[in-house]
Structure formats: C-alpha cells, structure tokens
Chain A
Amino acid sequence: MVLRRLVVGLPAVLGVVLVTFVMVRLSGESPVHLLAGPNASPLEIATVTRALGLDRSLPEQLAIYVGRLLHGDLGVSWLSGQPVLAELRDRLPATLELVALAMLLGGGLGVWIGCRAAFRPGSAFDHLVQAAATVTFSIPIYVVGLLAILIFFVALGVAPAPMGRLSMAVLAPPRVTGSLLVDSVLAGDLAALGSAAAQLVLPVGCFALIVAGPTVKHVRAVVADALASEYVAYARACGLPDAMVRRIALRNAVVPIATFLGLEFAHLFAASSLIELTFAWGGVGQYGLNAILQGDFAAVQGYVLLLAVASLIVFFVVDLFVWLVEPRAKTA
C-alpha cells in the first residue's frame, strides 16, 4: 500500500516540479532587470544573468535544479539572498498552526452539521443548512477576512489589529516548535499565549467557515446516499433502533468523507496564502504569493514543491486511515 502510493505520488511531484519550473521561466517578469537595476549596462545584465545561471539552456538549468533538490537544496531566493529551504522552514509553523486549527474547527463542525441535516432530509433545518452552505461557498476567503476585520476590529473594536501573529506590545516566546501557542505554553508566558490566541481567532474563524461550507454539502450528500441504500433498508426492516441504523450508515460514509477532507486540507494549504495576505500573517502562503508576484523563481518552486509534498503526505494519511477502517481495502 505504501509502495503503491509512492509509485503514484513520486511522478506527480516530479510533474509538478517540471511544470512550475517551465512556468516560472516563461513569465515575462525576469529577475535580472530587478536585480541589476534600471540603469544597468548590457555587460552588467550579462553578468547578473550568468550569476543566476540563466544563460544556460532550459534542460541544463532543470538538471542542475533537480540535482540540487536531491541533496535537499532548494536554491536561494533572489529577493532576500537567503536559502529557500530555511525561509520556508521559518514560516511553515505559522501556516500549519492556522490551517490545522481551521481544519479541526471547520471540518468537525461541517461533518457534524452535515450529518444532522442528512438525518432529517427535506426538513426546514436541512434546507437552511444547505442554503447557508451555498452562501459560505460563494464568499471568497479574503472577503470573509475583510468583512470580519470590518465588523470585529473597525466597528466593534473587540479584535486585535489584523497585523501578524502577535501584538506589537508582546515579546515573542523563545522559538522551540515555531508554533506561538505551543512555544508560549512551554515558556510559561501567559501574555504571549493570550496575544497569540487573540490574533488567531479571526483568521481561524474565517478559515473554518470556508471549510465548513463545502464539507457540510459533501457530508450531507454522502450520508443521505448511505441512508437511502439497501443495507440500511434491510437494517430498518430488521427492526434495529434508529441510532444503530445511523451508525451502520455512517460507518459506510466514513471513507468518502475522509477522502474529501484530505483533498480539502490540500486546498486549504494553498488558499492559506490569501488569508495570510489579509491578516499579514507571514507564513509560507504569503511568502509563496509574494514570490509569484515578484518572479522569485527559486522561492516559487520551493513553495509549489512544499504544497505538492504536503498534499502527498495528506493523501497518504487518508489512505492509511481508509485501510484501517475499511475492511474491503485490506482484501483488495
């Protein structure tokens, strides 16, 4: 099973590396002019081009890049001059903290509400939930963030300024894991813990709302399908109590729901860039977004590679979970 996932996954990651490699090099925005300055002479431009390795042919550049990649070297950001790997590593905990909390809250809420709606199909609650899901489905994530800032910071004044992960007045706890929540607990720093939690509330809340919408829709459909199946009709005909019938239906809905949540997690990781931009979060998403806008080749490639590897890990975990709960997967 592990082997199968690797066999399927590695070419996908390689494909993503190749596509982004070609794509960033096709972009009109060349970093050479940015680095050399507007008044650079042709000689200076040629020097910078050579220093960046852009004077070689595309296949040559690709071979060099992949060779370094195999040694764990993601290259150097041309904007900051720092190794991309270190920059991503510094920013990853901020994004993970955000995405994981949102996934727990939004995914959990979505599954719960979706099940409730499916148990009573056609009821007023069901219609209300479905309409609400379509509404959250229709609001772009950064707009949710901006509206939340308008309401809770500008109008009510109860939320902290939407800038970064800590209030300016609070010192960051010593870095251990990179997660401010965990680090401030480890340092026993209550002020930092409070500030980090307060800064998290709005972005996590908005993010969770965005996750909950599609999750509710999917869970509602899957569970309703399971409840309409013949084995559930049989269970009912046997006179099993409602609670047990539902458990039987849910047991069969678990696999598609887990698969969906896995996909959703991978998409969240990318959508995180927009919420990070809105709240000046400073995670990998904002970093990647900036890199795309500035034509910072190595950083874009590093970011996209990170996304691809993250999706691969999530899909792997989902596979593992399915294998554990689904008896049919073991015999296949």
Chain B
Amino acid sequence: MRLGQWVRAEPGTAFGAMLIGTFALMAAFAPLIAPYDPTQARPDAVLLAPSARHWFGTDPNGMDVFSRLVYGSRYAFGVALPALALMLAVGLPVGLVAGYLGGWTDELLIRATDLLRAFPTIVFALALVAAVGQGLGAMIFVIGLLDAPLFARLVRSEVLALRRGTLVESAVVAGNPTWRILLVHLLPNCAQGVTALAAFRMAWAVRISATLSFVGVGIQAPTPEWGVMIKLGAEHIVTGTWWVVLFPALGLILLVLGFNFVADGLSRLMDPRHRAGVR
C-alpha cells in the first residue's frame, strides 16, 4: 500500500531504484544468470548476430555478449562501491574538522575544491590512472580521491551552518567532548545531503570507470567490463556488427540513469518547498 503510494508520487525515483536493484541482482547472481563463461573465446562462434542461443550475439573473440554484460555489472559496482567508501572515508572527517575548527584545513579544502571544480576532472582522472598504474585498484583509488573533496565541502558547509546554532552550544555546555559533538551531533545532521550526493557520485563513478577502460587506461581486455566491451565494439562498428557495442552501452546507460534518477528524487526530498507541497 505505502509502496504503491510512493511509486505513484515518485515514478522517476521508483524507476531508478528498480534499475539499480536489477543490476545489483545481476551482479550478485552472475554465475547463475550467465549462460556462458564470459571470457571463453570460441573461434567457431565469432561475431554471431543475436539469436536464441546467443541472446545478445557474440563478439569478435567469439565470447557471449549477454554473459559478458551480466558479469560486467560486477565490475561496475566493484569499482563504484569501494570508490564511494573511499570518498566518504576521506571526505566526511575532513569536512567535519574543516567546518568545525576552521583554520588551515578549511583554507586548503576550499582551494582544492575550487581547483577541482574549475579544471576538467576527466583529464585529471586519465593522467592520474596512467600515473598510478592501470587496473582496478588504481581506478578505485583515483575516483575515490577525486571526489572526496566534494563530500568534504558539503559536510563543511552544513557544519558551518550548525556551528553557531543552539544545537552545538547546548552540546558544549552539557560537557560533550569535541569528538562526540562532531560524530554524534553534527554528522547525523549531514546524512540527508550526503546520501543525495552519494547517489549522484555513484552515477559518476560508474560512468568514469567505463570511460577510463574505454580509453584504454582502466581495466584491460578480455575482462568483461562494460567500457572494455564498448571499446571492442567501437573498433568494429563500421562493419555493421551493432550488437557488440549496443548492449554494453545500454547496460552502462541504464545503471547510470538509475543512480541519477534516485539522486534527483533524494534531492527533491530535501527541498523544503517541494516537501511542503508548495510548487
């Protein structure tokens, strides 16, 4: 009943959540869903068009595109989730301390985020992954670190707004140590904003990890990752074998779309004008 109401009130968010859920299930049960081994090359089944045996066809190596797509969701979550954990692990403490104590941490944080915002992240990400060394770990590290300042900045601004209020004042008067004020009184107040930002940045992380692999600095072939699959498809696109590129592209688009729809819904939820039903 309440679920039905929610779906009617927020169809976009519900659709997004459904997309994320589908891909999460796909990632969890990949071996049960995929009919073939995703990295087994079969020279006798190269570039077969979609059929009953190969739903999404086969690629130039004779690997089953559907099986690779299913396993690819593991890499999408496998990069984005640890990267998000890193963003939070670095961003939240820095934001709390910078907002509450001010001083040089605050100054440094502002400068770093300004530079990141003015300068295209894609170039940073490319150069950094190339520098740190290719592969899964390097990608998680770079994506997480590039986005941590965004979370720090958000938490900082919320803490700054709360610091002069009665919440902190009474907590200090009641004799709470600083760490307790930060963790118990201030951090939970940032939860809503952080959740919405996290959804937005998950979308970005899934996108950029595929981009890095597409360009050739991320995960390498023949790993069944969506960017790798799109790259392979792009190399053969003019020959007319559309299925090699189309299906992984759709997978990538739908998962990113899911996170973005959920993020949109979460930020609408936080807008007081919307919540009060005014406009």
B230 within 8 A of A: yes
A146 and B128 contact, CB distance less than 8 A? no
Are B237's CB and A150's CB within 8 A? yes
Interface flag for B210 (CB, 8 Å): yes
Q: Please measure, in the bound complex, the distance between the C-alpha atom of A153 and the C-alpha atom of B124, giving whole angstroms.
A: 33
The reply on B234 being an interface residue by CB < 8 A is yes
Contacts of B246 in A (CB 8 A): 147, 150
Q: Are A146 and B245 also in contact (CB < 8 A) when A137-B260, A140-B211 are?
A: yes
A24 proximity list for chain B (CB < 8 A): 127, 131
Q: Are B207 and A269 in contact (CB under 8 A)?
A: no
Say yes or no: is A100 at the interface (Cβ < 8 Å to chain B): no
Q: Which residues of A contact B216 (CB under 8 A)?
A: 293
Is B252 part of the binding interface, using a Cβ–Cβ cutoff of 8 Å?
yes
Residue ID in chain B nearest A137 by CB atoms: B260
B130 touching A27 by the CB < 8 A rule?
Answer: yes
Q: Which residue of B lies closest to A15 (CB)?
A: B115
On whether the beta carbons of A307 and B123 are closer than 8 Å, the reply is yes
Nearest chain B CB to A106's CB is how many angstroms away? 17
Residues in B with CB closer than 8 Å to A304 are: 123, 127
A292 at the interface (CB under 8 A from B): yes
Q: Does A156 contact B (CB under 8 A)?
A: no
Q: Mark A45-57, 1 if CB is under 8 A from B, else 0.
A: 0000000000000
CB <8 Å contact, A154 and B261 = no
CB-based contact A134/B257 at 8 Å? yes
CB neighbours (8 Å) of B132 from chain A are 26
Which residue of B is nearest A22, CB measured?
B131
Given contacts A143-B253, A146-B233, contact A277 B123 (CB under 8 A): no
Interface code A122-152, partner B: CB below 8 Å = 1, 0 otherwise?
1000000011001101111011001101100
B120 on interface, CB distance cutoff 8 Å: yes
> What 1/0 mask marks residues of chain B from 224 to 245 whose CB sits below 8 Å from any chain A CB?
0000001001100110101001
- Tell whether A98 is near chain B: CB-to-CB under 8 Å: no
Number of CB contacts from chain A to chain B under 8 A: 119
Q: Which A residues are in CB contact (< 8 Å) with B210?
A: 140
- Which residue from chain A places its CB closest to the CB of B210 in the assembled complex? A140
- Chain B interface residue bracket vs A: 35 or more
Q: How far is the CA of A315 from the CA of B119 in the complex (A)?
A: 12
Interface residues of B in 91-108 (CB under 8 A from A): none
The answer to whether B127 touches A263, judged by C-beta atoms less than 8 angstroms apart, is no
Asked whether, in the complex, the Cβ of B238 is within 8 Å of the Cβ of A295, the reply is no
A16 contacts the other chain (Cβ, under 8 Å)? yes
Chain B residues 10-31 with CB under 8 Å of chain A are 12
Nearest CB in chain A to that of B258: its residue: A138
A29 beta carbon closer than 8 Å to chain B = yes
Q: Which residues of B contact A139 (CB under 8 A)?
A: 253, 256
Residues of A within 8 A of B240 (CB): 154
Q: With an 8 A cutoff between CB atoms, is A300 at the interface?
A: yes
Contacting B at CB under 8 A, from A241-282, are 263, 266-267, 269-271, 273-274, 277-278
Nearest CB of A to B236, in Å: 11
Interface centre among B133, B210, B234, B252 (most CB of A within 10 A): B234
The closest CB in chain B to the CB of A295 belongs to B130
Q: Which residues of A contact B252 (CB under 8 A)?
A: 140, 143
B126 part of interface (Cβ distance < 8 Å): yes
Asked if B217 lies at the interface with its beta carbon under 8 angstroms from chain A, I say yes
B221 interface residue per 8 A CB criterion: no
- A203 vs B258: C-alpha distance in the bound complex, in angstroms? 26
CA distance A295 to B257 in the complex (A): 34
* A window 193-241: CB within 8 A of B: 228
B279 touches A307 (CB 8 A): no
Cβ contacts A to B, 14 pairs, < 8 Å: A12-B115, A24-B131, A27-B130, A134-B257, A138-B256, A139-B253, A142-B214, A154-B237, A270-B122, A274-B215, A292-B127, A293-B130, A300-B127, A315-B118
Inter-chain pairs besides A143-B249, A270-B123, A277-B215, 10 sampled, C-beta below 8 Å: A138-B203, A138-B207, A140-B210, A142-B234, A143-B252, A153-B238, A162-B238, A267-B122, A273-B123, A292-B217
What 9 pairs across the A-B complex have the smallest Cβ distances?
A270-B120, A27-B131, A138-B257, A138-B256, A26-B131, A143-B249, A267-B120, A270-B123, A138-B260
Interface of A with B (CB < 8 Å)?
12, 15-16, 20, 23-24, 26-29, 121-122, 130-131, 134-135, 137-140, 142-143, 146-147, 149-150, 153-155, 161-162, 228, 263, 266-267, 269-271, 273-274, 277-278, 288-289, 292-293, 295, 300, 304, 307-308, 311, 315
